[in-house]
Structure 1
């Protein structure tokens, strides 16, 4: 039987990559401005707080939104969506409580005593980012990738434009944090208006029935709020580890240099992986329900296509590091070219593997990935703590991270081969 998904995937990815091009242009125009407006120390402080937001927002919903794409029944999808939103709200409140209880200890540990007021944006950031991600999944489920891509572009435009315009008036940490959180909150409101105009209701009003279904679905999909949450938390902690370790081992200027290089690479890499994640999960799940052979074929074809994308990605940023960085950031930031190459290397392997890692959810083998994440989290930490210069630490981290992604690629293929 011939697979009929190739043309469908290409059609959906057309929206995604068009959006990525637009977002890339916005970033290319904005980042040089930010590098000249804000001091590297401020960018480093912003990156540290942003890392905390990204780590906790990725698990705030307990990953119930991932099940939304895997379900066939509309009512079940609505209940799971509602569970994800309520989980995000609860997580944000818990983070606020933790800040109240341990604020002084956090400030002392990260040497942040002089901008304690900015830390109160963390719960707002966790809420806004997590709810935006949930709404995006729901948008894909109900309205397709066209609207998904539009709001990605809109959020990026508000964030980058707000940071640049706000920085011209007040180049402070608070300006960057406000622009970041506002971009998600405004996007969420616009998506709610879009659903309302389309007459799409995605909340279940029968609360008594919902309570029963909540417990049933938690039991049925227990691996998502447990193993999946652990996997995502450890994976994001691993990706943000350079910021956390470098801020303690060196200074915020070093973190700022890392942020500028990482942002230039992360934006296209993040959009590619997140959007292909969504497309691959949707179609791989559908093919899995048809036959295991179909899933294996989708996996192999996707791996080959992603290998080409990853190679082009790395070569592009290598050329940028050699010939164009001075035009982008100016000549006053030392060592950023080497940092960019190290970051681009690990991100290239992430592009290759990250979308395909969703196979573990489909084959129900999340616990194996959790073990590998734990092992490599320790290895990444020791790589960053490698004695010597900042460059040695970052290169060691990049090599270990790249090897981890290669191992995940092989392990996921083995999962499919073992299916019966």
Structure 2
């Protein structure tokens, strides 16, 4: 298990480093407005993708029977196709009747691409679960590296060789997903998978694993919605330039921190999973040790970003991205507490329930909606809005960390 974890961490880390290196070039080529439009488009896809599979893809790795795993795979793929068809109808109605708010009018010409992106993203998630069960993490790791390399190379190449537009970024994003799907589908036993297509059996397996759409889906949907809500709100209420500045700020701050945070999270989960879930004393001892180390490790980069975020962004990305630098300074406070809290919530996988995740995500979403509602009512500037958002989310992550410790007590 540890070897698989390291393999996955290595691939994810390399992919994120590639994305981090590409940020200055992409930012200078496309500018804040186009980056904002792209960030908003990707945010919409991210929110819709969990609905496509109903989270049945998460269950693929769980059954002892391979037949059950194949049936869960078929369920996920069938729901991906069905949801994309329904989404196409919805998009068509929106397009024909011009139902989009004025601030989202730029996306009107690209709406019909959304069902395709959502379906392929759902298929990619399903194949990753299937490959992790039967093939191993090495293939997923290599796939993520290839996706990152092709996506970032395409964004830069299209921007230099052709006119930098939103369609260039969307084509690059599509290439990334298609490469991932193509890489993972090779070598799977599709004859066995398709041989499990029996309507009554699929209905039974859907009922057997009904906790995924009933519990995991709402939790995941709230998590993804909360993550992308700032961009969706900025796209609606503030200017495209400010949306682009925020999109880049979130990317700049989240990438380097997640390089460490995600790795720690996966290793920490692996370690506590080895411990008997009734031995909460041992789990608590390990959790407190991780909490202390994360608090120390995250402090220095947070201080640097808080004090010099604007100068760092101006130096690396140019004068037109200075606003993003101010956002980075404000967001660094929140991301410090997120960096500490995120790995620790894995405790609920061992000694808690899915309801714990659901409650945490509900509270987080409520906090975010509250912040943005007050921003509208009080007519806050984008800077004031981000500062309020960072403050309230910092409070939420502190409460979440305390909840983890209290659960172990």
Residue 181 (structure 2) pairs with residue 188 (structure 1): yes
The residue that corresponds to 1:5 in the other structure is: none
CA-CA distance at 1:394 after TM superposition = 0.4
5+ long unaligned stretches in structure 2 = none
CA-CA distance at 1:229 after TM superposition = 1.0
Between the aligned partners of 2:283 and 2:70, the Cα distance in structure 1 is 27
Between the aligned partners of 1:61 and 1:373, the Cα distance in structure 2 is 20
Secondary structure, counterpart of 1:203 in structure 2 = helix
Stretch of structure 1 that moved more, 114-123 or 354-363: 354-363
CA-CA distance at 1:213 after TM superposition = 4.0
2:170 is matched with which residue: 159, 177, 183? Answer: 177
CA-CA distance at 1:31 after TM superposition = 1.4
The residue that corresponds to 1:77 in the other structure is: 69
1:222 is matched with which residue: 210, 216, 233? Answer: 210
Between the aligned partners of 1:288 and 1:61, the Cα distance in structure 2 is 32
The within-5 A match list for 1:4-19 is 9=2, 11-19=3-11
1:241 is matched with which residue: 229, 233, 236? Answer: 229
The residue that corresponds to 1:395 in the other structure is: 387
Between the aligned partners of 1:234 and 1:177, the Cα distance in structure 2 is 25
Deviations 1:127-174 (A, max 9, x none): 222222222233322333332222111111111111111112121111
Between the aligned partners of 1:329 and 1:116, the Cα distance in structure 2 is 29
Residue 197 (structure 2) pairs with residue 207 (structure 1): yes
CA-CA distance at 1:75 after TM superposition = 2.9
Secondary structure, counterpart of 1:71 in structure 2 = coil
The residue that corresponds to 1:43 in the other structure is: 35
Residue 254 (structure 2) pairs with residue 266 (structure 1): yes
> 2:131–2:140: 8 Å Cα contact kept in structure 1?
yes
The residue that corresponds to 2:136 in the other structure is: 144
Quickly say closer, same or farther: Cα 1:269–1:106, change in 2 above 3 A.
Answer: farther
Between the aligned partners of 1:69 and 1:352, the Cα distance in structure 2 is 28
CA-CA distance at 1:42 after TM superposition = 1.4
> 2:146–2:179: 8 Å Cα contact kept in structure 1?
no
CA-CA distance at 1:52 after TM superposition = 0.4
Residue 371 (structure 2) pairs with residue 383 (structure 1): yes
Secondary structure, counterpart of 2:322 in structure 1 = coil
The within-5 A match list for 1:20-59 is 20-59=12-51
The TM-score, its normalising length taken from structure 1, stands at 0.83
5+ long unaligned stretches in structure 1 = 1-7
Deviations 1:295-322 (A, max 9, x none): 6566556555554554465356447626
Secondary structure, counterpart of 1:124 in structure 2 = helix
Between the aligned partners of 2:66 and 2:111, the Cα distance in structure 1 is 39
> 1:81–1:202: 8 Å Cα contact kept in structure 2?
no
Quickly say closer, same or farther: Cα 1:88–1:147, change in 2 above 3 A.
Answer: same
Between the aligned partners of 2:271 and 2:57, the Cα distance in structure 1 is 16
Deviations 1:262-294 (A, max 9, x none): 122233455656666666666655655796667
Quickly say closer, same or farther: Cα 1:114–1:52, change in 2 above 3 A.
Answer: closer
Quickly say closer, same or farther: Cα 1:403–1:279, change in 2 above 3 A.
Answer: same
Between the aligned partners of 1:78 and 1:278, the Cα distance in structure 2 is 26
The residue that corresponds to 2:317 in the other structure is: 329
The within-5 A match list for 1:132-171 is 132-168=124-160, 169-171=162-164
The TM-score, its normalising length taken from structure 2, stands at 0.85
Secondary structure, counterpart of 1:332 in structure 2 = helix
Between the aligned partners of 2:191 and 2:286, the Cα distance in structure 1 is 33
1:365 is matched with which residue: 330, 353, 374? Answer: 353
